[in-house]
Amino acid sequence: MVEHCFWEAGVAGSNPVIPIGHLLSKLMKIFLDTADYNAIAERYQTGLVDGITTNPTLVRKSGVNYLDFIKTLANDFAFESISAEVDGETYDVMLENANQFLNIDPSITIKLPLTKEGLIACRDLAMSGIKTNVTLCFSAAQAVMAAKAGATYISPFVGRMNDNSFSGVELVRAISSLYCAHGVETKVLAASLRDVHHVSRCLMYGANVVTLPPAVFDKMYNHVLTDAGLAIFEKDFKEING
Ligand code: E4P
């Protein structure tokens, strides 16, 4: 079964539509979108983090050496995927840059821009069995090209779509539907997520993976009614237990 196919038609007029995603929750992945080692280590303890995405901006902000950082992550944690982004506008520079990350660990996923050169590099890496994450996706048409290039992951940027008055979650829905219709195995990795509402929407709309800044990951636990309910239960426990 292709993992994007999250809707199963119910019998007309009787059963409601069944979200197959519920049955496949083990396939629903959460990555952290950060280059902050301590933030990763703290949340890794929960057992709820499946992978890491990084980008040059996050690495610049954290002040780490990119290659050393990726090596440390691969050494210290058991993630299924660690995205390391290549620098360069040409195929040759991208592959040269990718080479420094290869052979570190099977989890290493080469992150390439959604450009013609980036997709040619993606195709060749994919043909060599290397995992790839095609980043900076803003249209279903681009996602088609990434799938044709054999990308392991496609990263639609939800928040940056919203910043520009387009619906990021609708983009995720369009790509997931398109991949489902054509049996595409490329996984939809919803990126540029800034709030928990968009995270759950993306998963409802067929994203296989969501990558979250640590602060958004932390907010996934929270609800004001949980806090209010807990306060009442704590008070009642005190009375029960004297
Ligand atoms: C994804 O791979 C990117 O690193 C990231 O999600 C971009 O998020 P931003 O648009 O909030 O910078």
CA of 58 to the centre of ligand 1 (A): 9
97 lines ligand 1 (CB under 6 A): no
- Calculate how far, in angstroms, residue 190's C-alpha sits from the geometric centre of ligand 1: 9
Q: Where are the beta strands (DSSP E) in the chain?
A: 7-8, 18-19, 29-33, 51-53, 81-85, 108-113, 131-137, 153-156, 187-190, 209-212
For residue 13, give Cα distances in angstroms to 5, 17, 21, 229, 242. 21, 10, 22, 38, 54
**Domains of the chain, CATH where assigned:** 7-240 (3.20.20.70)
Q: What is the mean pLDDT of the chain?
A: 92
7-42 tens-digit pLDDT: 544 334 444 444 454 444 467 999 999 999 999 999
Is the shortest distance between the CB of 55 and ligand 1 below 6 Å? yes
Sorted by sequence, the CB contacts under 8 Å of residue 214 that are 6+ apart come out as 32, 34, 36, 39, 40, 42, 43
Active site residues: 111
- The finding on whether 211 has its CB within 6 A of some atom of ligand 1 is yes
Per-residue pLDDT reduced to its tens digit, 83-92: 999 998 899 9
Q: How far apart are CA 27 and CA 46, in angstroms?
A: 18
Taking the alpha carbons of 27, 31, 132, 5 in that order, is the dihedral positive or negative? Answer: positive
Q: What is the pLDDT of residue 119?
A: 98
Take atom 5 of ligand 1 and give the residue whose Cα is closest: 192
- 133 touches ligand 1 (CB under 6 Å): no
